Amino acid sequence: MMVLFWILVAALALAAAAALFPGAERRDGVRRLRERFARGEISEAEYREQVRNLGAEGRDSPGWVALAVVVLLAVLALGLVLGTEGWGMHGMWGMPGMPMPHMRGWNPTPAPRALPGARVVLVELVDFAFRPGVLRVRAGETVNLRLRNAGRVLHDLYVPALGFRAAVNPGQEVVTSLAAGRPGTYEFYCTLPGHREAGMSGTLVVSP
């Protein structure tokens, strides 16, 4: 579908160029009128009137009809692409509930289940940040992260050093357990394309 869309865009550009700029036929007509006027075959008033007529014919020519048809086809193709594949909002980020072509192959593993009785740490995922941006736990402690997606697009929280990842759809929340290992400072971030680069990252501090 994308190939079809860009083919129609190219056709639209060609049709626009043909409609907006005088064609070779009109230029030849003006040149012949100029020659007739120079030879005295027509008066200046006749020359101006016929030149105006050529301009009107150019405006009413089928080129404008073709342009309108190509625009309509391009709009229909765009609508079809949006309806079947979905394009992202905010650049290349997807809209809630819509499939995102740039995320093909992005399939996070299921988040660990919550641990009954464990301390709960609330983390909000927004467009495009974590709140709070610094999480503090004790070494050896298992906490339940209550991940609440307050943004408009899908987000996740990934701690590569701990092999932890949990994804949350917009407007929803997930409670998942995180087991802190050895003391240290670990980065976490959203793995969706472009989100980390937009500033969606934070720090997990594991104290002794």
Domain ranges of the chain: 2-85, 102-207
Give the architecture (CATH level 2) of 102-207: Sandwich (2.60)
**What does the alpha-carbon distance between residue 109 and residue 34 come to, in Å, rounded to a whole number?**
76
**What does the alpha-carbon distance between residue 182 and residue 143 come to, in Å, rounded to a whole number?**
14
**What does the alpha-carbon distance between residue 129 and residue 71 come to, in Å, rounded to a whole number?**
39
- Asked whether 110 and 164 are in contact (CB, 8 A), the reply is no
| Listed residue (134, 126, 117, 109) closest to 177, CA to CA | 117
pLDDT per position as a tens digit, 51-72: 888 765 544 445 555 556 666 6
List own/partner pairs for 54-58 with CB under 8 A and 24 or more apart: 54/26, 54/29, 54/30, 55/26, 57/26, 58/22, 58/23, 58/26
All residue ranges of the chain with pLDDT < 70 are 1-6, 8-9, 11-26, 55-109
**What does the alpha-carbon distance between residue 115 and residue 175 come to, in Å, rounded to a whole number?**
9
